Amino acid sequence: MEPHVYAKMLLDHATTLKLHTGNLVNRSRLKKKCPSSQSEELQDCIRATLSEWFASIPPVTEPELSRILDCTIPQNTEAITPEEREELKVSVKLFLSESDCSSVRNAVDMACASLGVSQLDSVIIAPPLLSEGENLALAHLQPLWEELEGLVHSQKVAAIGTSDLDKTLLEQLYNWAQVKPSSNQVNLASCCVMPPDLTAFAKEFDIQLLTHNDPKELISAEGFQEAVQESSKDLQVADWRLEWVLRYSIIVKSRGIIKAKGYLIHAKKKIQ
């Protein structure tokens, strides 16, 4: 059976797609060495990982079909050993495409399993985009934050943070939350200088202000489907929807260098 025929069969039968890009510090697997944006990098990673995974499937007469397609290439991934764990900081940012609170725990569990750790040092959450004209409010954040707090209490996560909250919303979350945000990311593309009121509040309550250059939508539904479709011939992708993307970085504490970075992706097929 031709690999692309088998790939189509696998994707047609599956209802869940899990993908780990592996370590991207060595970018030789990507066609584009220097993507122009985070979105382009992610699309390249999805396309390259799926292409490599489909090509690695051994030819069989009667393929085994599963509802869960776990597209991980073992030789591209390297779990953290217990001996080196103390020397490393594992930080992640979780981009949600849907307001499904169970995605928070699922993503953290998948990250811990993929990286070989029992705890992540920090998790920053980026809530899903809202409908046009709707502004992010505390009510949107509360159910997601409660999931994160549960992960802190169960020692799956050490510290939790937010992304793109202004002073008012950060203060509301801080006052309401049991586990306080330890950090807040600010996109300097939208404000060249840190807002003074946000800086003052963060300093008073020991919240670290970080900068980032992620787009509001890391990857669109169309961009995700396009990347999957380009990985092999004749794939049907219209029913697939992205649930979340988790980006991780593993930093050597003593030297401040990135040992590994990559993406975990989770998608579901709409059941007709």
Domain positions in the chain are 3-269
- The per-residue pLDDT for range 195-220, each reduced to its tens digit, is 899 999 999 999 999 999 999 899 99
Close Cβ partners of 39 (under 8 Å, ≥ 6 residues apart): 215, 217, 218, 219, 220, 223
SS3 22: coil
Is the pLDDT higher at 122 or at 130? 122
Quick check: pTM over 0.85?
A: yes
Q: Look at residue 34 in the predicted model and tell me its pLDDT.
A: 64
CB–CB of 50/17 below 8 Å?
A: no
CB–CB of 265/36 below 8 Å?
A: no
Query: What is the rounded CA–CA span in Å between residue 208 and residue 46?
Result: 32
- The per-residue pLDDT for range 61-80, each reduced to its tens digit, is 566 778 999 998 888 888 99
Per-residue CA distances from 197 to 11, 176, 193, 209 (Å): 50, 19, 12, 12
CB–CB of 261/218 below 8 Å?
A: no
CA-based nearest residue to 92, from 247, 265, 252: 247
